[in-house]
Amino acid sequence: MAEKYQRILLKLSGEALAGDQGYGIDPDVITGIAAEIKEVNDLGVQVALVIGGGNIFRGLAASSKGMDRASADYMGMLATVMNSLAMQDALEKQGVVTRVQSAIEMQQIAEPYIRRRAVRHLEKGRVVIFSAGTGNPYFTTDTAASLRAMEINAEVILKATKVDGVYTADPKKDSTAVKLSTLTYLEVLQKGLQVMDATATSLCMDNDLPMIIFDMTCRGNIKKVVLGEQIGTIVKGGDADDR
């Protein structure tokens, strides 16, 4: 079965790396994710990654407790670099050639983010991990994922979560919640659905970049999405009537 996408951007939350422990990095979890990325990379699909930092430090939470927002956000960006280096190590242990690029220069541990260099790495089959968000405070790693995906001409953003798509309500709290297989970006914004923040959603909408929200905890799902299987929720442009 031929892969549906040739170049993808996978967005992982920092919390995904923490597993059940809730903070830090669970070695078993990160090894499992790396194995799945390797499977996709072995298909010849070009893979870029953006990882959040919420398992180590969350800038927004710190600023709500009185810390300067810009300083808190910079600390959050450094947390994403730590996660990126951990993912690089996990991937390279499985034989995947990897590059970490940072939006904040730190030459001893990561390349600076250079768009053309990132694309060249992808063309050579290397997995590129974009760290430090956009390099600016007040922007989330969701926004960084949207921005980088467009800069490298990714065909889709795969947003890995702990639920198997977007629901009309929280399925854990509301038994009548219904899974939505397709949404438009406008619906996400109008209904205030917690898919991505509004900046990231608007960026994708303006540039007609589709996004698939899927369950990361189910082994093999990244490969299934890449092969075009209908799992999770796809968010794309156009009117709801076009579906």
Per-residue pLDDT, 239: 55
> Strand 127-131 to strand 46-51: parallel, antiparallel, or no bridges (unpaired)?
parallel
Q: Which domains does the chain have, with CATH numbers?
A: 7-242 (3.40.1160.10)
pLDDT in tens, the chain (243 residues): 567 999 999 999 999 999 888 899 999 999 999 999 999 999 999 999 999 999 999 888 898 999 999 999 999 999 999 999 999 999 999 999 999 999 999 999 999 999 999 999 999 999 999 999 999 999 999 999 999 999 999 999 999 988 889 988 888 888 888 889 999 999 999 888 878 889 999 999 999 999 999 998 889 999 999 999 999 999 998 654 444
Per-residue pLDDT, 241: 43
H-run or E-run covering 71: helix 69-93
For the entire predicted model, the pTM comes to: 0.93
CA angle 8, 12, 1 (to 5 degrees): 40
Per-residue pLDDT, 193: 84
Distance CA 212, CA 187 (A): 15
Per-residue pLDDT, 177: 86
CB 177 within 8 A of CB 170: yes
Per-residue pLDDT, 238: 67
Helix axis angle for 115-123 and 141-151, nearest 10°, is 70
